[in-house]
Amino acid sequence: MQKWARLLYQPALPLYEGKRTTSSPEHIDISRRTAVEGMVLLKNTNYVLPLDINTKIVLFGKASAEYIKGGGGSGDVSCKYVRSLYDGLKLKGVKVFEPLIDFYKMELKEQYEKGYVPGLTKEITVPSDLLESATKFSDVAIVVLNRYSAEGWDRCDIECNNEFDPWPPKPSLPKLSGKVFPKGDFYLSFAEEEMIKTVTDSFKNVIVVLNTGGVIDCRWIRDNDKISAALLMGQAGMEGGVAAAEILLGLENPSGKLADTYAGRITDYPSTESFHDSFDYVEYTEDIYVGYRYFETISDAASKVVYPFGYGLSYTSFKEEVVRTQESDEGFYIDIRVTNTGNRKGKDVVAIYASAPRGKLGKASKVLADFAKTKELFPNESVVIPLHVKKYLLASFDDFGRICEAAYVLEAGRYEFYLGSDVRNALKIDFCFELESDEVLCRLTHKLVPVELSKRLLCDSSYEEMPRGAHRDINESFIKRMSPGTEEAIAPEVRHVDRHLLMNNLKEGASPLIDVAKGKITVDQFLAQLSDDELIFLLGGQPNTGVGNVYGFGNMPEYGIPNAQTADGPAGIRIDKETGIVTTAFPCASVIACTWNREIAREVGFAGGEELKENNLCVWLTPAVNIHRNPMCGRNFEYFSEDPYLTGKMAGELVSGIQENEVGACVKHFACNNKETNRKHSDSRVSERALREIYLKAFEIIVKEAKPYTIMSSYNAINGVRASENKELLTGILKEEWNFDGLVMTDWWCRSEQYREILAGNDLKMATGFPERVKEAMELGALKRSDLLPCAKRVIETILKF
């Protein structure tokens, strides 16, 4: 097939001869295996699990008939089927109490007709006669609970409607959430509490399964002796119910570990206090103390943890021992021998945590420094796992110049290391590193300095006041901005082409882009023949073609530039059902993170990349790597973890897998998109240090190691400047410090001004550009042709990669 044939002609051809790979049995099995490895066994008193396959089971909770495969919005995927826990158990031949399932289905249908949506339905009270029949059927009950969240709102009843909205009216999900969960969906609803009490009072063996995409209160699981076992199923894609059934029945051994800290109350997370203080801004006053960095460091916080970061049980046991340590110039090599000491085959997660001196800058008590997952080990089998801890990861960014201004520094003192997947119970190893004097690893310059952040948390539990500067207007512009909301849902212009001879598709005298691909001319020479108007056109989104539904870029047939289509869906390639094409629904990123398995993340990426390419699409808008700063963020299901290193490494493998297919990944949302409410106007106020060490770190790892084709800037502002207009972020850090040579695109229909984005280094405006506004800025002298050329060059260079 010739270069760009899939872009130019949209052939409906399989990627491989004679067989379509999209939603193939092989890809669906990758989804199932990922789900298995990402589920976390939270509790297993007296080894009630695994269940015998002949055990009769009563399923309680409307979620047993209402499985949520993933979150909503751009993260949703159209797939050929979805299998719940009920479906999975039935496929394995387990006898389930059917009358209760039938009852739940009937009641749910009524709720849907009243406007409730899956995952935002009320728990259903079971009639006494049905309960009595269930107790006679079996003494084993599985309680299934679910939660649902989506793009555009957070896990609460608060919503912001402060601008024009062109979308058709639809039910308010925040209001519906508040109706179903009066205390907030972090907690059990009153109906759920009553249902759990009824079940635990009526059945000898009670098991809980959580079909949730984010953290919830689990004290009621840990503290209730009547609950024998609990499995965090997560939102595990189309085969999630099968994977959960296989774990419950012992056909698979659970090996997932938590990628977040599970605390008991939403107020235990320091970011909760000011999460909804304002629609206009969010203060990141907890600074670097996010997730376990807070709970393991700040006094009195440890007791608030129900299940710590890295926690997860298995049906077997493992012994971990250090067999080699070695220091190098840039880090430390630590080899770990893992032995399966139990009587079942299984996989183990090996992690090294590092502890640095608190010094002048202050540090978290431990940070994840490296990790790996073993292959499946049989009883008494051993394997040696090499881990590598980089000194750069242990360094602190000195934003106040206490040691060295705007530099990454290692402070003098002892650096100790801990072995174990769980941050709370990891054990100190004999090896340590002693640094006699402070060491500067990397000198940079100040960027994205906050001017309205009031204070930040220190490791001794106190706060320090932050220097204040002049207020920055996030709507500053040389030309009058559009009325907020009028940019929304605008489709790109379909260009007019005059009648012409069939054989004369190219502009007269033009050199086509294929000449660049063949090495006949350079990109600069190619762009030199384009007018200013044509350059501007290149910097905006283009109409859909084929099965594309979120627009493309390029699209200048008169120069032989194809229209490269993008695709949504971090949990799979999202194609509209109307096309007749269904794709593989993989587990959400929050489940993939809990696998702690880099290889399986790469498999998911490669499979998704195959489906992208087979359907003539070019850029998969994934992975989303924003940090789980607070459980309330409505999009946490789409993000990986509270830890930037785990996020960066797992998402980086996903990117590498995708791009093995010579199609692009788009890493998003750059940066600090940690709240959905009023996300297109909210200012994230955060220190330089927290930015560097927490919120930019995953992006940095991915850019440097996986080299993504594209990055998506976020809707929000950062310290008073909109992300897509932020030159210090997009040019200073991303391109100059990290040497990113790919394309930067906006998130869809952002509220930024395109000429300011071009000046900042944001190359492409999606879903459509506004060429008339860019030309106005040029006429007023705010923009020059020389500003357009670097952005246009990156658009062309990206298309050349496909």
Rounded Cα distance, 729 and 720, in Å: 12
Phi, psi angles (nearest 5°) of residue 430:
-70, -30
At a CB cut-off of 8 Å and minimum separation 6, what does 724 contact? 713, 714, 730, 746, 747, 750, 752, 757, 760, 762
Rounded Cα distance, 326 and 431, in Å: 9
Nearest by Cα to 232 from 205, 201, 254 = 254
Instruction: Say which of 287, 422, 747, 763 is annotated catalytic.
Output: 747
Phi, psi angles (nearest 5°) of residue 730:
-80, -35
Q: In what order do the strands lie in the sheet with 439-443?
A: 396-398, 407-410, 439-443
Residue 638 amino acid letter: E
Q: Catalytic residue at 747?
A: yes
Rounded Cα distance, 43 and 312, in Å: 9
Rounded Cα distance, 727 and 479, in Å: 18
The number of residues making up the chain comes to: 802
Rounded Cα distance, 516 and 523, in Å: 6
Rounded Cα distance, 346 and 358, in Å: 38
Rounded Cα distance, 553 and 764, in Å: 8
* CA trace torsion 545, 546, 552, 556 (10° rounding): -50
Residue 455 host element (H or E): strand 455-457
Q: How many CB atoms lie within 10 A of CB 19?
A: 9
SS3 344: coil
Asked if residue 452 lies in contact with residue 281, where contact means CB atoms within 8 angstroms, the answer is yes
Rounded Cα distance, 305 and 425, in Å: 13
Alpha helices in 152-289 (DSSP H): 173-180, 190-202, 219-222, 240-248
Asked if residue 728 lies in contact with residue 446, where contact means CB atoms within 8 angstroms, the answer is no
Tell me the sheet residues that pair with 409: 396, 440
SS3 355: strand
Q: How many Å separate Cα 181 from the centre of its chain? A: 25
Residue 712 host element (H or E): strand 710-713
Phi, psi angles (nearest 5°) of residue 196:
-65, -40
Asked if residue 384 lies in contact with residue 323, where contact means CB atoms within 8 angstroms, the answer is yes
- Over 253-267, what HEC string results? CCCCCCCCCEECCHH
Any idea which residues carry the catalytic annotation?
A: 747
